[in-house]
Amino acid sequence: MTDLLIVGGGIMGLWAAVMAERAGIETTLVERSTIGAGASGGILGALMPHMPDRWNEKKQFQFDALVSLEAEIAALEAETGLSAGYRRLGRIIPLAKPHLRTIALRHEQEALENWVSADRGFHWHVRDTSAQSGWPDSKVTESGIVFDTLAARVSPRLLLTMLATVLRRSRHVQGKEGMEVVRLDPLSGQAELSGGETIAFEHCILAAGVQSFPLIDALRPSAPHSSGVAIKGQAALLKADIDPSWPVIFSDGLYIVPHENGCVAVGSTSEYSFNDPLACDAQLDDLVARAIGFVPALAEAEIVERWAGLRPKAVGREPMVGRHPDFPRLLTLTGGFKVSFGLAHRLAAAVIGEISGNSQIALPDSFRCASHIALMQGKQGT
Ligand SMILES: Cc1cc2nc3c(=O)[nH]c(=O)nc-3n(C[C@H](O)[C@H](O)[C@H](O)COP(=O)(O)OP(=O)(O)OC[C@H]3O[C@@H](n4cnc5c(N)ncnc54)[C@H](O)[C@@H]3O)c2cc1C
């Protein structure tokens, strides 16, 4: 019997385990393959804020998470002596048309109001040109650029390695790779593993990425909707002589992210239908060509890795987090879709707070597992 069973060794499951360790909860984390085998083992690592307009509790939650991640990572880097490749680079959004500049100027004011933490403000500057020549090319910045000072990046793989190192040294968490949960019975508190073995648990956090959805759906097979879907994404890593302190470039789904290892990551496709979930194809070639349109210097860069993964998108389109309304022993921690890396530490802290009865972080209602289950059961329009 374990007090807490965590299913999944991606960014969500690892942060949950770190928070469980801090709360002193006896925990077993099972991963069917190896740590980072799912979507979290990728190459992009963009930590992008929402727009500063139409402020709401979801945007505030994400803002607080993006601000607090810097100190969380710094503390773990100090503890382990490892680097997570984190840096608050800021972000450039090219403004190709005059009306986009008008909107951006409005956001500049809204950021002054909304992008403020207890001891720090962040900015959405509208400028005529980029401070870095050719980053991006002047032909895409005819109406100027936005430079925001909140966006950051992390190396997904270095961060996972660092979290796994913390857990190997932990007192309360036991990690088990190569163990797949095939069925959950949250009423009796039993997880069945692929080899036929079972694990008894007091609580279970389901953080199995896209595989969370069939495990949740199996609990209510008559529900009219699934709890979520997989959205494929592809990205590429280019060896390029780009200063790693330069800002992320973002335009209409395209990210160009300088990393510390002499590489620039380019992402990502967003594919709702696909044949091979992990194959890279011409859609990635098109994306890299688009990136070269923004930064012609990348035309010379060698592609050192092409990578694809499946993002978990929950029925309510937001992260699916917290206690299942029908099965109090079961908590979900999934559905981070495109923003898991910026939010996972805070979502995990909220879930562990629910279990320990010491909840200090309020989740937006739309994130709550109960809101998603209501949608899944057709109780509200999807
Ligand atoms: C191309 C691409 C680019 C992206 N870029 C960014 C980005 O820049 N910034 C960002 O924040 N996000 C980004 N994302 C999204 C992000 O990668 C995901 O949202 C995130 O990794 C999901 O983490 P997770 O822990 O929920 O799932 P996963 O990382 O998929 O982890 C789930 C784990 O559970 C294990 N598992 C599954 N089923 C079982 C089972 N039955 N028993 C035991 N273990 C099981 C899996 O093996 C896996 O290791 C990107 C995704 C893609 C595909």
Query: Domains in the chain and their CATH numbers?
Result: 2-42+157-228+315-376 (3.50.50.60)
Helix count and strand count (H, E) for the chain: 8, 18
Q: What is the mean pLDDT of each run of 10 residues along the chain (382 residues)?
A: 98 98 98 98 98 97 98 98 98 96 98 94 97 96 97 98 98 97 98 96 98 97 95 98 97 97 97 97 98 97 98 98 98 98 98 94 97 89 44
Nearest protein Cα to ligand 1, atom 52: 233
Provide the whole-model pTM.
0.98
Could you give the angle at the alpha carbon of 206 between the alpha carbons of 333 and 59, nearest 5°? 5
Q: Is the CB of 144 under 6 A from ligand 1?
A: no
Report the nearest-CA residue for atom 48 of ligand 1.
38
Q: Which of 35, 206, 338 to mutate to test the pocket of ligand 1 (most atoms within 8 A of CB)?
A: 338
Let me know: does 146 contact 107? Beta carbons within 8 Å.
yes
Q: What is the pLDDT of residue 380?
A: 61
CA 160 – ligand 1 centroid, Å: 11
Nearest CA to ligand 1 atom 20: 40
Task: Note whether 132 and 246 are within 8 A (CB).
Answer: yes
Residue-level pLDDT at 381: 47
Whether 319 lines ligand 1, by a CB cut-off of 6 Å, is no
Q: CA angle, corner 94, sides to 91 and 95, nearest 5?
A: 135
259 lines ligand 1 (CB under 6 A): no
> Is ligand 1 within 6 A of the CB of residue 31?
yes
Q: Do residues 296 and 242 make contact, with C-beta atoms less than 8 angstroms apart?
A: no
